[in-house]
Amino acid sequence: HVTGSVFGGQQPVSGSTIQLYTVGTTGSKSAARPMIGATVVSDAYGNFSITGDYQCNDGVNPVATQVYITATGGDPGIGSTNSTISMVAALGACSSLSASTFVNINEMSTVAFAYALSPFAADITHVGATGSNPTGLVNAFANATALADTAFGVAGSTTLPAGVSVPVTEMNTLADILALCVNSTGT
């Protein structure tokens, strides 16, 4: 059970298609595997719920490693659908998901994901590493979750090690730039 919300700036994104992925294991930037067979869509307030729609150990991918969630398309509160919306949030190990997992998918989570996972990602459906050596990918997911707190959708994590800081100003600037694209008709 994973719940959350999709926001573009301060506006909820309704009608956004939600998908949970486990990373590819056949090489760098390999195809990630969708984990939800049913269609999950954000409501008028940007909220969504994934209940019983995925399994970390389903026999196809017996050890789902790192997982992430995407939100594509939807109405960012402008009364018109933007089919080019594509936001993402790193979640980490599939086994860490629980009934209390809440994720805020927004521009900040997308900036953190894109920065930390760029060596392993071609786009939001091609994120992966060699299955026999996923250490770099695991570390990249840890970096993404340190850069942005996905529960609150803000820069920085509440669990940063002592002496570590996040470039909050730069993260906010990049998120603001993305917000202009999200909160548009996509043209």
105-143 residue pLDDT tens: 999 999 999 999 999 999 999 999 987 668 899 999 999
Share of the chain above pLDDT 90, in %: 73
Task: Report residue 17's pLDDT band, with 50, 70 and 90 as the boundaries.
Answer: very high
Give the pLDDT confidence score for residue 60 in this predicted structure: 59
Higher pLDDT, 9 or 5: 5
> Does 151 score more than 80 pLDDT?
yes
Higher pLDDT, 184 or 61: 184
Mean pLDDT, rounded, of the chain: 91
- What CA–CA distance (Å, rounded) separates 174 from 154? 12
